Amino acid sequence: MDFSALLTSAGINIGFCALFLSLYSVLRKQPHNFSVYFGRRLAEEKFRQQVDYFSFERLLPTAGWIVKAYWCTEEEIRRVAGLDSVVFLRLFIFSIRIFSITSLVCIFGVLPVNYHGKEKAHAHIPAESLNVFTIANIREGSRMLWVHCVALYVITVSACILLYYEYKYISRKRLAHITGSSPSPAHFSVLVRSIPKSDNELLDDTIRNFFVNYHGSSYLSHQMIYRKGNMQKFVDNAERAYRKFVRVKLSAFGQSRRSNMSRCGLCGVRASSFQLYRNKFIDSKKSDLSDPDVIEAQKDCPGAIVFFKTRYAAIVASKILPSSNPMLWVTDLAPEPRDVYWSNLWIPYRQIWLRKLAVLAASVAFMFVFIVPVAFVQSMMQVDQLQQMLPCLRGVLKKSIFVRVITGYLPSVVLLLSQYTVPPLMMFFSSIEGSISRSSRKRSACCKVLFFTIWNVFFVNVLSGSVINQLNVLTKPKDMPSMLAELVPKQATFFITYVLTSGWASLCSEILQVYNLIYNFFRKCVCCYWDEPEYVYSFPYHYVVPKVLLFNLLGFTFSILAPLILPFLLVYFCLGYLVYRNQILNVYYPKYEMGGKLWPIMHNGLVFALVLTQIIALGVFTIKHSPVATGFTILLLIGTILFNEYCRHRFSSIFDSFSAQDLIELDRDDEQSGRMEEIHQHLLDAYSQASNINGSKSSKNGEGPIEMVLDDPAQEASDSNQELIDTVKEVTGAIQEHAIQEHVEEK
Residue of the chain from 48, 122, 650, 697 that contacts its own copies (CB under 8 A) = 650
Q: At 369, is the secondary structure helix, strand, or coil? A: helix
* Nearest-approach distance from CB 302 to its own copies, in angstroms: 18
Pick the stretch among 87-95, 194-202, 319-327, 687-695 that binds its own copies (CB under 8 A). Answer: 319-327
* Nearest-approach distance from CB 421 to its own copies, in angstroms: 28
* Nearest-approach distance from CB 415 to its own copies, in angstroms: 29
* Nearest-approach distance from CB 315 to its own copies, in angstroms: 6
Residue of the chain from 141, 254, 391, 477 that contacts its own copies (CB under 8 A) = 477
Residue of the chain from 82, 185, 303, 322 that contacts its own copies (CB under 8 A) = 322
Give CA separation, 88 vs 68, 101, 179, 328, in Å.
18, 21, 21, 38
Angle between helices 74-105 and 565-586 (to 10 degrees): 180
Q: Which residues fall within 8 angstroms of residue 493, CB to CB, at 6 or more apart?
A: 1, 6, 130
Distance of CA 268 to the CA centre of its chain: 34
Nearer to its own copies, 147 or 195 (CB): 195
Residue of the chain from 30, 158, 652, 721 that contacts its own copies (CB under 8 A) = 652
Pick the stretch among 298-306, 514-522, 560-568, 645-653 that binds its own copies (CB under 8 A). Answer: 645-653
Show contacts with its own copies in window 613-642 (CB under 8 A).
642
User: ∠ at Cα 312 (308, 314), nearest 5°?
Assistant: 40
Residue of the chain from 26, 150, 157, 316 that contacts its own copies (CB under 8 A) = 316
Single out the residue of 311, 225, 239 nearest to residue 278, CA to CA. Answer: 239
In angstroms, rounded to a whole number, what is the distance separating the alpha carbons of residues 532 and 517? 13
Residue of the chain from 72, 175, 410, 425 that contacts its own copies (CB under 8 A) = 175
Provide the mask over 94-133, with x wherever binding to its own copies is found by CB under 8 A and - wherever it is not: ----------------------------------------
Helices H / strands E in the chain, number of each: 34, 5
Show contacts with its own copies in window 437-466 (CB under 8 A).
none
Nearer to its own copies, 178 or 422 (CB): 178
Helix locations, 340-437, DSSP H? 342-345, 349-369, 371-381, 383-389, 394-398, 400-432
Single out the residue of 206, 342, 48, 102 nearest to residue 705, CA to CA. Answer: 206
* Nearest-approach distance from CB 657 to its own copies, in angstroms: 5
Residue of the chain from 10, 651, 689, 710 that contacts its own copies (CB under 8 A) = 651
Single out the residue of 594, 592, 593, 597 nearest to residue 653, CA to CA. Answer: 597
Pick the stretch among 545-553, 573-581, 648-656, 689-697 that binds its own copies (CB under 8 A). Answer: 648-656
Q: Using an 8 Å Cβ cutoff, are 152 and 560 in contact?
A: yes
* Nearest-approach distance from CB 444 to its own copies, in angstroms: 18
Pick the stretch among 383-391, 654-662, 671-679, 695-703 that binds its own copies (CB under 8 A). Answer: 654-662
Please report whether residue 321 would count as binding its own copies according to CB under 8 A: yes
What one-character-per-residue DSSP string does 540-594 give? Answer: -HHHHHHHHHHHHHHHHHHHTT-TTHHHHHHHHHHHHHHHHHHHHHHT----S--
Phi, psi angle pair for 617, to nearest 5°: -60, -40
Show contacts with its own copies in window 356-385 (CB under 8 A).
357
Distance of CA 396 to the CA centre of its chain: 44
Provide the mask over 296-315, with x wherever binding to its own copies is found by CB under 8 A and - wherever it is not: ----------------x--x
Nearer to its own copies, 633 or 691 (CB): 633
Residue of the chain from 251, 256, 323, 509 that contacts its own copies (CB under 8 A) = 323
Say how many residues touch its own copies, by CB under 8 A.
40
Residue of the chain from 104, 161, 276, 327 that contacts its own copies (CB under 8 A) = 327
* Nearest-approach distance from CB 350 to its own copies, in angstroms: 8
Single out the residue of 554, 547, 533 nearest to residue 458, CA to CA. Answer: 554
Provide the mask over 655-694, with x wherever binding to its own copies is found by CB under 8 A and - wherever it is not: --xxxxxx-x------------------------------
Provide the mask over 213-232, with x wherever binding to its own copies is found by CB under 8 A and - wherever it is not: xx------------------
Provide the mask over 328-357, with x wherever binding to its own copies is found by CB under 8 A and - wherever it is not: -------------------------xx--x
What one-character-per-residue DSSP string does 261-305 give? Answer: IIIIIISSSTTHHHHHHHHHHHHHHHS-TT-HHHHHHHHT--EEE
Single out the residue of 373, 376, 383 nearest to residue 404, CA to CA. Answer: 383
Helix, strand and coil percent figures for the chain, each rounded to 5 = 75, 5, 20
In angstroms, rounded to a whole number, what is the distance separating the alpha carbons of residues 632 and 147? 12
Nearer to its own copies, 60 or 321 (CB): 321
Task: Give residues in contact with its own copies (CB under 8 A).
Answer: 175, 213-214, 312, 315-317, 319-327, 353-354, 357, 475-479, 642, 645-646, 649-654, 657-662, 664
